Amino acid sequence: MSLFACDFNDRFVDRLPADQQSDNFCRTVNGVAYSFVSPKVTQSPTLIALNHTLAQQLTLATDDPQAIARVLTGNELLPNTRPYAMCYGGHQFGHWAGQLGDGRAINLGQLATPELGLQTLQLKGAGPTPYSRTADGLAVLRSSIREYLCSEAMFHLGVPTTRALSLCLTGDKVVRDMFYDGRPQQELGAVVCRVSSSFMRFGSFQLPAVRGDIKLLNQLVDYAITEDFPHLGQPCKDTYIQWFREISERTCQLIVEWMRVGFVHGVMNTDNMSIIGETIDYGPYGWIDNFDLSWTPNTTDAKGKRYCFGAQPQIAQWNLFQLANAIYPLIEQAEPLNEILTNYAKMYESRWLEMMKDKLGLAQLEPQSDGELFVQLEQVLSECNIDMTIFYRLLASYIPGKSQIESHFLPCFYQDEPTKAMYWPRFEYWISLYCQRLENNSLDDDERARVMNRVNPKFVLRNYLAQQAIELAEQGDYSMIEQLQQVLANPYQEQDGFEHFGAKRPGWAMHKAGCSMLSCSS
């Protein structure tokens, strides 16, 4: 059978060395880019959500949900597909972890689509691989829903990301200890089919470099340039430098976009950093409700806060430094790599200022004075416990001299009325500074609002909304998944009947599991 009108053309498999050991068991794998592996056969695969727009772009026939479920859980393999798991390493929480690899992701193959070009279909949660270590290679419904919804939410927000094609139940139960507290439970097993032009990570190059396997390192870098950066020309030392520069630029822009919409990845290990600058591996992520630069959604990171919201730009630079170390043997020149790493900080500051200019609806940037205004705003948002998403939308509709400050902005505050005297003067003072700045703004109020509402979303995938969808789905009700898909497909638009999806985090969700912080358990 064939579900796709286009053909599989797996250049990753054809052009890079394969593991010659055919048995699927956990082991150290040397000198290869991937291992062939078969997905786990499950009891009763069932399709519960499909991205119809992406399916059309991938030429997927959507008239047979059962066939889709069988193929996109790995229960049935299509002709000319040779499933495999990728081999890579990485730094986890700042420490070298050695070989990691696709422990629960299995690539079906690369699909040569007429509209999107070569796209890899990857099944997350499809069973064990040689890189699963002590895990079972499976995924549960709660984490799979979060990945499925978040991938598409990010795409429609304009943030580079892997895509999500489908969400399927496997029919099997999976044992997970959600909080690592010695209370494992059986949960519903699920598989997400995610899609990208490349699933190569920083760690793909780190592992052979650490092992001293320069031949494999060279093969991987040349493949990445040829397939994903062909505009750079034929691989050579100068091309390698240009390649690293572009990875740095893409990574910088990715982090700017995360900061723009209030997204916190939660686990920015080098094996979770895409070389093409996409958001990859949606684990314990979260969206900022009340603005807090020190907030992390990851329980594992609760004390160290290495991957908190405000640290993401610096961590990205640290990760780039590790990638530079990995490719140095191919270049043998430290100066150009150091220059790129140094320029990252300058580039981020410049792009962050431009991003904030747009968020505040300013026609032109006055770098020094506006930079001070932006930093003061972040301080005010944090000190006054303000909902970031709602604040920026209210600011867009605020008209100096006409809108009443208190009644206009009250909906974005989380504080109770008795604490008002502590925060209100600080907030009101910043608004006065903003109004002064608008006196020198060439945009009128309507134009300013349009500019702001193009970059400040009305709807994001708030953690409590995802958790509500999960709890319904675990009872067999998938309606909220469908509703959130619909709403998040137009995140910058007001949507009648769905206003509640743009509401503040309710009080009950502040400390509820899945709504505030999450573990890596999935």
What are the beta bridge partners of residue 263? Answer: 287
What are the beta bridge partners of residue 10? Answer: none
Cβ-proximal residues to 366 (8 Å cutoff; 6+ apart), any chain: none
Residue 164 DSSP SS3: strand
User: Amino acid letter at 438?
Assistant: L
Closest Cα to residue 209, out of 221, 192, 197? 221
Q: Which of 271, 281, 301, 387 is catalytic?
A: 271
- Six-digit token pair at 315? 């961590």
Task: Determine the Cα–Cα distance for residues 206 and 209; give it in Å rounded to an integer.
Answer: 5
Task: Determine the Cα–Cα distance for residues 349 and 313; give it in Å rounded to an integer.
Answer: 10
Identify whether 238 is a catalytic site residue. no
Closest Cα to residue 149, out of 192, 103, 102? 192
User: Amino acid letter at 405?
Assistant: I
Q: How many CB atoms lie within 10 A of CB 74?
A: 26
Question: β-pairing, 185-196 with 139-140?
Answer: antiparallel
Task: Determine the Cα–Cα distance for residues 178 and 249; give it in Å rounded to an integer.
Answer: 36
Phi-psi region of 50 (alpha: psi -120 to 50; beta: other; left: phi over 0): beta
Distances (CA, A) of 129 to 72, 87, 302, 402: 17, 10, 30, 63
Distances (CA, A) of 282 to 247, 254, 386: 20, 15, 26
Residues noted as catalytic: 271
